[in-house]
Amino acid sequence: MNLSLQQRLSTSPLVIRTRKFSHKFVDHRLLKHAFKSPAVTAVTFGLVFFFVCADNFASNFSFSYPSNDDSGGPLSRVVHEISRSNVPDNGGDSILRSLPAEGIYSGRGGATEETILEDPKSLIPPFNATRIERLAWFREKIPDIEIFNPNPLTEQFHSRVLQFLNNNCSIQFFMIWNSPARSFKNRDFLAIDSLFSSNPRGCLLIISRTMDTRRGYSILKPIIDRGFKVLAVTPDLPFLMKNTPTESWFEQLRSGRRDPGGYIVQNLANLIRFAMLYKYGGVYLDTDFIVLKDFSGLRNVVGSQTQEVDTKNWLNGAAIAFDVGHPLVKAFLEEFANTYNGNKWGNNGPHLMTRVIQRTESTPECNYTVLQPEAFYPVDWVKIKRLFRRTVTEADLRWAEQQLAELENGDTYGVHLWNKHTIGMKIEVGSVMGRLMEQHCLVCENIYT
């Protein structure tokens, strides 16, 4: 008997805990009006705090609305739950188009890529540097690290995010891009292309300074011109860290009092993904990920990349979905601040998530589900290369057909491409990956280049 993914999750050893969430709604307009009174504000926030905690910050990929308190904590704003039943089925006719490039970058202090270009390689510390030497090197670099420096776009970050997400998004996605826009290649674009092929009424935010430029806009324009909702936005890191367990850690880093370690860019990306999920909720995806299915049914899930739960690499953060303010994401942030080691690859990412999951699996308030590898990582980093190669023999063809059938008809939501191992590989015509991308794209350009 073939069981669905959800049926198998109920008995799977990889399922930590599941729970039905209630569906309470808060009228943010009434609350916003009530905030004019300090007394009412206090009572209102008390009630909101009670209901939010009682329901474990229940939301269906919640949106957050601003109050008079701009402190940035998830409880300083009203959490408004967006139900799929509340989203009118207009066939996409009134889909919001991303903010036009002229409006963002002309006459408002916006930047072109040339003025904010930041090569991640410039943030690699000297090889074999001691802690003292690395700190001295980092302190010299701090004034030139663009992501630390405020500008007119960082000041608009929160308002731009809320404006963009408050437009009938069936689900909200986040990606992070910390390389120059010129490094955003065809395969990265295919990740976005496949996302909207399976989630046409979703919203995608790309957290990136370099993509929040004219060049970045031109890259995304083929998607925007088709009416889909995608926006690159320059992050405000102090705001993202404010009122989170990593606020003090980040201030120490920014002031040069914290050893960044050897993997600064990767660790900042880990931190940003956790902070975005904590403050806004939704789905985070890496850019080396091909989406095959609608993600709207996924809430409070993380994917395992192996069933060998004793390994340090049990979990992976390439695809994670959580409600705003979820206690598990808060635990990720706490673990990041308390156990940060910038010299160990994965310590502050997949290893961190594994450590927290193993500690919280019996904690009632941390309701989440660990999905089996087939959900996001159906092919590991060793076998993935074969999917890029064309089929030659009859045996190859039979294998390819079997792989496609399993990926399309099984419980796979998407395929992680393991860019670290495949970035130099071309997708060959007739390959499993090529056929998969052809079936899950809208623009469908440059698949084989």
Distance of CA 416 to the CA centre of its chain: 14
Alpha-carbon separation of residue 262 from 176, 218, 235, 258 (angstroms): 20, 33, 22, 12
Q: How many CB atoms lie within 10 A of CB 179?
A: 19
Residues 257, 358 within the same domain: yes
Residue with tokens 């008079």: 68
> Tell me, what's the pLDDT at 19?
36
Residues 323, 391 within the same domain: no
> Tell me, what's the pLDDT at 280?
98
Look at the chain and report how many structural domains it folds into.
3
> Tell me, what's the pLDDT at 129?
86
Which of 315, 338, 371 terminates a domain? The answer is 371
User: Residue 446 falls within a domain, yes or no?
Assistant: no
Residues 233, 291 within the same domain: yes
Q: How many CB atoms lie within 10 A of CB 119?
A: 12
Residues 322, 428 within the same domain: no
Please say if the pLDDT value at position 350 is more than 60: yes
Residues 194, 301 within the same domain: yes
User: Residue 447 falls within a domain, yes or no?
Assistant: no
Please say if the pLDDT value at position 404 is more than 80: yes
Residues 126, 218 within the same domain: yes
More confident position, 36 or 388:
388
> Tell me, what's the pLDDT at 149?
86
| Lowest mean pLDDT across 106-110, 214-218, 308-312 | 106-110
Q: How far apart are CA 282 and CA 191, in angstroms?
A: 17
More confident position, 19 or 84:
19
Q: Is residue 175 within 8 Å of residue 206, measured between CB atoms?
A: yes
Residues 29, 138 within the same domain: no
Which SS3 state, helix, strand or coil, does residue 145 take? coil
User: Residue 377 falls within a domain, yes or no?
Assistant: no
Q: Which pLDDT band, with edges at 50, 70 and 90, does 157 fall under?
A: very high
> Which residues, 6 or more positions from 394, have their beta carbon under 8 angstroms from its beta carbon?
none
- State the residue range of the domain holding 271: 101-371
Which of 319, 344, 371 terminates a domain? The answer is 371
Mean pLDDT of 70-97: 31
Residues 260, 209 within the same domain: yes
Please say if the pLDDT value at position 256 is more than 50: yes
Please say if the pLDDT value at position 364 is more than 60: yes
Q: Is residue 148 within 8 Å of residue 240, measured between CB atoms?
A: no
> Tell me, what's the pLDDT at 119?
60
What interhelical angle do 394-409 and 432-439 show, nearest 10? 40
> Tell me, what's the pLDDT at 101?
39
Q: Is 134 exposed, middle or buried (0-12, 13-18, 19+ CB in 10 A)?
A: buried
User: Residue 263 falls within a domain, yes or no?
Assistant: yes
Residues 69, 169 within the same domain: no
Helical segments of 125-178, H only: 131-141, 152-155, 157-165
User: Residue 317 falls within a domain, yes or no?
Assistant: yes
Q: How far apart are CA 280 and CA 329, in angstroms?
A: 11
In 3D, which of 21, 25, 106 has the Cα closest to residue 65?
25
Residues 140, 266 within the same domain: yes
> Tell me, what's the pLDDT at 313?
55
> Tell me, what's the pLDDT at 39?
44
Q: Which pLDDT band, with edges at 50, 70 and 90, does 156 fall under?
A: very high
Main-chain phi, psi angles of 302, to 5 degrees: -135, 145
Which of 318, 344, 371 terminates a domain? The answer is 371
Q: What is the DSSP letter of 368?
A: B
pTM: 0.76
> Which residues, 6 or more positions from 296, have their beta carbon under 8 angstroms from its beta carbon?
61, 84, 170, 171, 199, 202
- Kindly report the CATH number assigned to the domain that includes residue 244: 3.90.550
> Tell me, what's the pLDDT at 159?
97
Residues 200, 346 within the same domain: yes
User: Residue 409 falls within a domain, yes or no?
Assistant: yes
User: Residue 245 falls within a domain, yes or no?
Assistant: yes
Mean pLDDT (the chain) is: 78
Please say if the pLDDT value at position 174 is more than 90: yes
Instruction: Report pLDDT digits (tens) over 182-213.
Output: 999 999 999 999 999 999 999 999 999 999 99
Residues 155, 228 within the same domain: yes
Q: Is residue 408 within 8 Å of residue 293, measured between CB atoms?
A: no
Q: What is the DSSP letter of 262?
A: S
303-334 per-residue burial string, b: 16 or more CB within 10 A, e: under 16:
bbbeeeeeeeebbbbbbbbbbbbbbbbbbbbe
User: Residue 96 falls within a domain, yes or no?
Assistant: no
Q: How far apart are CA 401 and CA 396, in angstroms?
A: 9
Which residues, listed in sequence order, are joined to residue 319 by a DSSP beta bridge?
285
